[in-house]
A and B are shown apart, each in its own frame.
Chain A
Amino acid sequence: MPNEIKFKIDGREFTAAPGETILEVATRNGISIPTLCHNQKISRTTSCFVCVVKDKRTGKFLPSCSACPANGQEVESSSDEVRDMRRTALNLLLSEHAGDCEAPCTVACPAHAQVEEYVRAGRRGDFKKSLKIIKERIPLPLSISRVCPRFCEKECRRNVYGKPVAINDFKRLAADLYYDEYMEDIPVENGRRIAVVGAGPAGLSAAYFLRRLGYRVKMFEKMPKAGGMLRYGIPEYRLPKAILDREIAHFFKMGIELECNRQLGLNLSLDVLKSEYDAVAVTIGCWKAGSMRCAGEELALQGIKFLERIAANDWTGNNPGKTIVVGGGNTAMDCLRTSVRLGSDDVTCFYRRSEEQMPAEKLEIHEAKEEGVKFEFLVAPVKLVRNDAGKLVLTCQRMELGEPDASGRRKPVPVPGSEFDVEADTVIAAIGQATDAPPGLAVNRFGDLDVCEHTYRMSDNVFAAGDCVTGAATVVEGVAGGRIIALGIDGFLSGREYRPEPVVNVSRGHWQSLRKEDLVFLRQDVSEADRVPQRLIPIAERTSTFHEVAATFTPEEVQSEGKRCIECSCTAKGDCKLRQHSQEYGADPEAYKGARLQQGYDNRHPVIIHDRMKCIKCGTCVKICAEVVNKNLLSQKYRGFATKVEGLFGRTLPDSCAECGACVEECPVGALDWRFKA
C-alpha cells in the first residue's frame, strides 16, 4: 500500500497504516506495552504515561497510545531507560493511589490464607466453602483455629473502632463442622516420592501440599505419634489430642504415609533418604531447651521436656507443689497453666523484663492470671540449690530497665545488692528453644538450618522449613514454611527454580493511622455490634482439669461476627491494571512517599462504589459516559494534584445513571466498581 508507514520497535520493523498509533501496531504484533488510560472505545486520553516509548533519534519519550509512527522512525520499548520511565510513572501513580489491594488480615496471615473470602463465606453461612478456602493455605485448620496468635486480627481494620473481627473463630467452626467430611481433589501420584522428616506443623503442611501436587509422600517421625509440638508442646486444654488425631487422620485419607519412632541421625539416615527419595523435606523443629545460664540450673525442669512428659503420660502427673517458672514466652505460660492443672496452688512466673515486654500472647497471660498464676517481673535467677530439707532454693536478683538492646527492647540490668532467695518444690526453665541440628546439615549463625530464602533448598535434593529454619515460631508460620518447601521441591523436580510471584500490595496505612472515615464501606449493613465474646469453661474446671478452655462459636455467632467485617480488600484486586503493571515493572508503593488526597468515597449508588482515593485521574470513565453511553454524568474537577472525578456539577451518580456499568467495566483500577463482592 502506498501510504504504509515503516518503522521499527526495538529494532524490529513493522508497518503501520496511516493514523495507527505505535501502541496499536505493537499490540497487533504481540508486543506488550503497558497502559492504563488507553481505551479503544473512547478518544485518546494520554494521561497515564505508562505506555511511553523512546524515539531513538530525538531522544524524546512519546506516549505510544497517541503517537503515530513516522516513516523510518525507530522507537525503544524495552530498554532499561524506557522501563525506568514506566516504573517511575507507576511509582508516582501508586504514591497517590490509596486503597487496600488485599485486606490487611490477608496480608498479615503468614500462610497468606484468603481471610476476607473465608470470612465472607462464613457470613453467608457457607461454612463448607469457608473451609475449602482456608484449606488452600492452611491444612491444619482444627489445630490452628485453636492455637493461632491471630496475626490477622491484629491488623483487622475494625481495630480502628473497637475490637477486631473474631477471624480465627471462622476457621474453628468451619473445621469443626466439615473437616472430617471435606476432601480436596487429590491427583493421581506422579511417580515421584518425597520423604518428610518430622511430622510437626511444617512437615504435615509440606506433606499435604506435596500430595496435592501429585507426589507420593512419606513422613518420618521421631516421636511415637505425629503432630510434633502440636502434640508434645501445646497442652491438652488448648488443643485436645482427640482433635489433633482427627486432623492427622485426614492425611492418611489423602494417602500420605507415616512411620513413627524414626529419628534422623539415630535410626534414619539422611543419605539413604536422599538416594531413595526424589527429595527430602527436613522439618525437625526446635526441640532443644534454652539454658537459664545460672549455677544449679540442672536442678530445674526444662519447659518443653516437662510439657512433653505430661503429654506423653496422657495428662497425668504429680502435683508439682510450689512451682516457679522462669521465662515469659508462650511455653512458660503453658508450663504455668499445666502446673495449676496438676494441682499446684502456688504457681509463679519469674520474668526478667517488664510485663509489656513479655513475648507471650496477651490472652495467654490474661488467662493464666485468671487461673491464679502469680507474676514477678524484673527478676532474674542467679543460682539454684537444693537445701537440706529437700526444697529447691532459687536465688534471684532484681532488675531494672536500661538502654534498648539489639531487639529494640530496653535491656534489663541487675540492681546491685538486690539478691533474694525463694523456696520452691519445682523450678521450670522455659527460656527458649533451639534447633538440634543433626550432623551433616549446614547451620547458619543462629544454629538453625541454612536454606535458600526463596526455595528453602539446602543442598542436593534436601530442603528444610519450619522451626528448624526460623527458630521457634508459631504453628501458622510452620504451615506457611511447609507450603513453600512443597513449591520449592516441585520447582526443583520440574527443573525450574521456584520464585514467588512479585506481589504489589497497596495499603491505606496501618489502622493506627486511620480514622473510621478513612474506611470504605461497600455494604451499608456492616454491623456496629461488639465482638462476640469467647465462651470459656468455668474457672474451677479450668484449674482442675485439662478440658479445652475455649468453646467453638455457634454458626449464629460466626455469622454475626461476619457482619462486622468491612471487606476492605479492593473490588478490583484481580483485574487492576495498575497492580498488574506494577508487579511486572517492579514498581513499589513505598517508592515515593507523600500526601494522598483525602477525597473520600461515595457508596450512595445502589450498585456502584466510587472510591476516589483509588482514582488515577485518567478520565476514562468521564469519556466512556460522555462518548459511549452518551450520558455525560461524570466530570473531572479541580486542577493539579487535587484533580478528581465527580458526578457532573457535583451531583451524585444515582440521579440519572442507568447502571449500565460501562464506567465500572473500563476503570483500569478499582475507583469505580460494583459494590458487592462475589
Chain B
Amino acid sequence: MAEIRKIKVGTASCGLAAGAGAVLDFFRDHAGVEIEEVGCIGHCYAEPLVEVVTDAGSVFYRDVKGEQACLDNILALGETGRLEVSPSRRKYEMLKVTRLAGRICPTSFDAYVAEGGYGALKKALTMTAAEVVDEVKRSGLRGRGGGGFPTGMKWQFLAAKQAEKKILICNADEGDPGAFMDRSMMESVPHQVLEGMLIGAYATGADILFIYCRAEYPLAIKHIRIAIDQIREHGLDVVNGKKLDIIIKEGAGAFVCGEETALIASLEGRRGTPRFRPPFPTDRGWNDYPTSLNNVETFANIPLVIGEGGAAFAQVGTEKSKGTKLFALAGDLKYPGLIEVPMGTTIGEIVFEVGGADPDQVKAVQTGGPSGGCIPKELFDTPVDYDSLNALGAIMGSGGMIVIGTDRCMVETARYFLDFTHRESCGKCTFCRVGMMRMYETLERIVAGKGEMSDIDFLADLGPKIKKGSLCGLGQTAPNPVLATLRYYKNEYIEHVRDKRCAALVCNALVDVKLDPEKCVKCRLCIRNCAVGAISDDFVIDNAKCTRCNTCIDVCPKHAVARVEKGEGYYAE
C-alpha cells in the first residue's frame, strides 16, 4: 500500500458548512499523520472532502465524517467513499485560475511560492509598466465581474493619469445569490488575488489598493488579511519604490455596492448609490483620484497572463472572450459546485457534461444571477461568452449559473428573482425603485391567480423602460428574468392569468393537495405532522384549511400525497 504523507481537509466555507470542522478536529486528534487545511476544489456537492496525499499520488474522499470508521477507511485507502470525477467533467473542465484552489494551504505564503506563486510578479517587475499593460491587453482578458470591459484598456487609462494618488480596487462584493467564485478564490488562494493586484499596482502606478469585500465572507476576509500581512513581511508591498497602502473594506451587504460607482461611494463613507458616468472612475474615482476597479477573478487571472504571456493566455477561449471562466453551478443538477471551463464551452456541455444534469429534467438555465436571464434548453448549444449571452437576453454576469428543472414554474422563478432585485435597488432612480416594485407586485398577483391579461402587457412595456431609465447595471438588468421568461415561456404567464393554472404545480394559490387512498398505508404521519389540522382521521385533506406547506408530501413514505390542479382537491363546507 502506498504511504500516506499528508491528509488535506477542505475547509473553505462550503466544506465547513458541510461539517469539515468536525472532520478536521477528529483527524487531527486521531489520524497520526500530518493534517493540512486547504480550500475548495469545486466539488461542493461532495463536501466534506479530504485529499489523501501518498507517495503514489492523491486519493480524494467525499462526504467524509469526523468519526473513526470513516478515518479508518481513509487511512486504509479504502475503495468506499472515493470521489469519482466523471470523465466528461474531466474532459470539459480546464483548471487554470483554480489550479491551486483546494490544493494548497491558503494561509501559507510558502505553499503558494512553492507552486510558483509570485513568479509572475517577479517577472512583471523585470518589465516596464507599459509592457505589463500591453501584455494584459494582448491577453484579451475582460472584466470577470460581468461588465466584460477589457482589463488592459482600463489599466492603460489609469496608467496614463498623472495624479497625486492612484487607486486600485478589488471588487470582492460578490452579491449574486448562488454565486461564489470570488469567495472561493479568496478563501482558497488569497495570494493569487493579491499577486494580481500587486502586478496591477505596478502596471498602473497605483498607490492605494482596496479590497472591498462583503462582510458576509468572514473566512475570505481572514485569509486575505493573513495574506496581506505575509506579503508585507516579505516586502512585496513595495512596488515602484513606493510602499502600497493595502486596505480591506468590509461591505455592509448592499447588492448595489458591487456597482463600481456605488462601491466607491461606499468606500468614501457615503450612501452606496451609483452616480452617472462619465466621469468614469479612471478619471474621477475614490475621493476624486483616478481609480480602477477589477473583479477578484480578474485579478486572479493576472498572474496567469503575465506568467504564461498574453499570447499564450489568448489561445484559450473564443475570438472576443479569452481564457477560462469560473461558474458557480447550482440548482437542479447532480454536481453543484465551482467549475472552470474555457470561454466558448456551450451551456449544454456545462450543464449536462460537467454538472451532470439529466437532460430530461432540465427546462432552462439562469445565467448572470438574479438580474440575468433564463436560457431555454433548446438554446443550450450557445457558447458561453459575453456577446453570445447578451444576444439571448441573458448576461454572463459574474458566473452564477442556476439550472432550472422541468418541475419549476417560470413565472414563480421570475417572481423569486425580482423579490431579490426590487429590494436591492438602491432607491435612487425612479424607474428601478418604483418600477421594479410595480413589476414585482404584478408578478405576485399573477402567481396568486389574480392576474389579468393586461398585466402581461404591462410587464412587457415597463420592463424595457426600466432598463433604459436606470443609471447602473442593477436597474439596467433587473427586469431581465421577467423579460427572458416572457420571451421563452409566455405560455406559462398566459396559463396563470387566463386559466388560473400553474402547470408545474408550484404556485400555491393555483394548486390543491390530494391524498391517494390507493397508495396510503394509514400510517398517520401526515396527520401528525400537519400544522393546521387539515387532514381528517379518514385521510382526506381539506384544501380550505391546507396551507400548501408540503409537509405531508415530504413525510409520506408511500408518496401518496401530491399536489394536483386546483379544483381536484377536496374542500370542506
- B431 located at the interface, meaning its Cβ lies under 8 Å from any Cβ of chain A in the complex: yes
- A152 located at the interface, meaning its Cβ lies under 8 Å from any Cβ of chain B in the complex: no
Q: Is the CB of B430 within 8 A of A594?
A: no
Q: Is the CB of A594 within 8 A of B462?
A: no
Residues in chain A near residue B470, CB distance under 8 A:
49
- A60 located at the interface, meaning its Cβ lies under 8 Å from any Cβ of chain B in the complex: yes
| Chain A 579-610 interface mask (CB, 8 Å, partner B; 1/0) | 00000000000001011000000000000000
Shortest CB–CB separation between residue B211 and chain A, in angstroms?
23
Q: Is the CB of A88 within 8 A of B465?
A: yes
- B427 located at the interface, meaning its Cβ lies under 8 Å from any Cβ of chain A in the complex: yes
Segment from A40-48, A192-200, A222-230, A670-678 that makes contact with B: A40-48
The CA of A595 and the CA of B436, in the complex, are separated in Å by: 12
Q: Is the CB of A49 within 8 A of B429?
A: yes
Q: Is the CB of B438 within 8 A of A88?
A: no
The CA of A238 and the CA of B429, in the complex, are separated in Å by: 57
The CA of A89 and the CA of B432, in the complex, are separated in Å by: 10
Shortest CB–CB separation between residue A649 and chain B, in angstroms?
13
- A639 located at the interface, meaning its Cβ lies under 8 Å from any Cβ of chain B in the complex: yes
Residues in chain A near residue B256, CB distance under 8 A:
639
Given contacts A638-B427, A640-B433, contact A66 B438 (CB under 8 A): no
- If over half of B's interface residues share one DSSP class (helix, strand or loop), that class is named, otherwise mixed; here it is helix
Q: Is the CB of B438 within 8 A of A640?
A: no
Shortest CB–CB separation between residue A158 and chain B, in angstroms?
31
Q: Is the CB of B430 within 8 A of A641?
A: no
Shortest CB–CB separation between residue B482 and chain A, in angstroms?
15
The CA of A89 and the CA of B438, in the complex, are separated in Å by: 12
- B423 located at the interface, meaning its Cβ lies under 8 Å from any Cβ of chain A in the complex: yes
- A123 located at the interface, meaning its Cβ lies under 8 Å from any Cβ of chain B in the complex: no
Q: Is the CB of A92 within 8 A of B426?
A: no
Q: Is the CB of B428 within 8 A of A640?
A: no
Given contacts A47-B430, A89-B469, A95-B434, contact A641 B425 (CB under 8 A): yes
Which residue of A47, A595, A636 contacts B429 across the interface (Cβ within 8 Å)?
Answer: A47
The CA of A50 and the CA of B433, in the complex, are separated in Å by: 14
Q: Is the CB of A88 within 8 A of B469?
A: yes
* Closest chain A residue to B271, Cβ basis: A636
Q: Is the CB of A93 within 8 A of B434?
A: yes
- B451 located at the interface, meaning its Cβ lies under 8 Å from any Cβ of chain A in the complex: no
- B422 located at the interface, meaning its Cβ lies under 8 Å from any Cβ of chain A in the complex: yes
Given contacts A85-B465, A85-B468, A617-B427, contact A92 B435 (CB under 8 A): yes
Interface size on A, residues (CB 8 A): 34
- B424 located at the interface, meaning its Cβ lies under 8 Å from any Cβ of chain A in the complex: yes
Q: Is the CB of A640 within 8 A of B468?
A: no
Which residue of A61, A67, A85, A643 contacts B276 across the interface (Cβ within 8 Å)?
Answer: A67
Q: Is the CB of A640 within 8 A of B430?
A: no
Which residue of A68, A88, A640 contacts B423 across the interface (Cβ within 8 Å)?
Answer: A640
Residues in chain A near residue B422, CB distance under 8 A:
640-641
- B238 located at the interface, meaning its Cβ lies under 8 Å from any Cβ of chain A in the complex: no
Interface size on B, residues (CB 8 A): 29
Q: Is the CB of A641 within 8 A of B276?
A: no
* Closest chain B residue to A67, Cβ basis: B276
- A96 located at the interface, meaning its Cβ lies under 8 Å from any Cβ of chain B in the complex: yes
The CA of A255 and the CA of B437, in the complex, are separated in Å by: 59
Q: Is the CB of B437 within 8 A of A46?
A: no
Which residue of B427, B434, B435, B438 contacts A639 across the interface (Cβ within 8 Å)?
Answer: B427
Shortest CB–CB separation between residue A9 and chain B, in angstroms?
18
- B471 located at the interface, meaning its Cβ lies under 8 Å from any Cβ of chain A in the complex: yes
The CA of A52 and the CA of B465, in the complex, are separated in Å by: 11
Residues in chain B near residue A96, CB distance under 8 A:
433-434, 437
| Chain A 613-649 interface mask (CB, 8 Å, partner B; 1/0) | 0001101000000000000000110111111000000
Shortest CB–CB separation between residue B458 and chain A, in angstroms?
8
- B32 located at the interface, meaning its Cβ lies under 8 Å from any Cβ of chain A in the complex: no
- B441 located at the interface, meaning its Cβ lies under 8 Å from any Cβ of chain A in the complex: yes
Residues in chain A near residue B428, CB distance under 8 A:
46-47, 617, 619, 643
- B87 located at the interface, meaning its Cβ lies under 8 Å from any Cβ of chain A in the complex: no
Residues in chain B near residue A668, CB distance under 8 A:
none
| Chain B 248-263 interface mask (CB, 8 Å, partner A; 1/0) | 0000001010000000
- B116 located at the interface, meaning its Cβ lies under 8 Å from any Cβ of chain A in the complex: no
- B241 located at the interface, meaning its Cβ lies under 8 Å from any Cβ of chain A in the complex: no
Q: Is the CB of A49 within 8 A of B431?
A: yes
Residues in chain A near residue B254, CB distance under 8 A:
639
Given contacts A46-B428, A638-B427, A640-B422, contact A52 B469 (CB under 8 A): yes
Residues in chain B near residue A89, CB distance under 8 A:
430-431, 469
The CA of A640 and the CA of B434, in the complex, are separated in Å by: 8
Residues in chain A near residue B468, CB distance under 8 A:
60-61, 85
Shortest CB–CB separation between residue A643 and chain B, in angstroms?
3
Residues in chain B near residue A616, CB distance under 8 A:
430
Residues in chain B near residue A639, CB distance under 8 A:
254, 256, 423-427
Q: Is the CB of A640 within 8 A of B437?
A: yes
Which residue of B433, B436, B441 contacts A643 across the interface (Cβ within 8 Å)?
Answer: B433
* Closest chain B residue to A81, Cβ basis: B468
Give the one of A44, A48, A49, A592 with max B CB within 10 A: A49
Residues in chain A near residue B423, CB distance under 8 A:
639-642
Residues in chain A near residue B433, CB distance under 8 A:
96, 617, 640-641, 643
Q: Is the CB of B430 within 8 A of A595?
A: no
Residues in chain B near residue A52, CB distance under 8 A:
469
A-B contact pairs, 10 of them (CB 8 A): A47-B428, A47-B429, A66-B276, A88-B435, A92-B434, A93-B430, A592-B434, A595-B441, A641-B436, A642-B427
The 6 closest A-B pairs by CB, nearest first: A643-B427, A66-B276, A92-B434, A641-B437, A640-B425, A46-B276
Residue positions of B touching A, CB distance < 8 A: 254, 256, 271, 275-276, 278, 422-431, 433-438, 441, 462, 465, 468-471
Besides the known contacts A619-B428, A635-B271, 4 further A-B residue pairs in the complex with CB atoms under 8 A apart = A67-B276, A641-B423, A641-B434, A641-B436
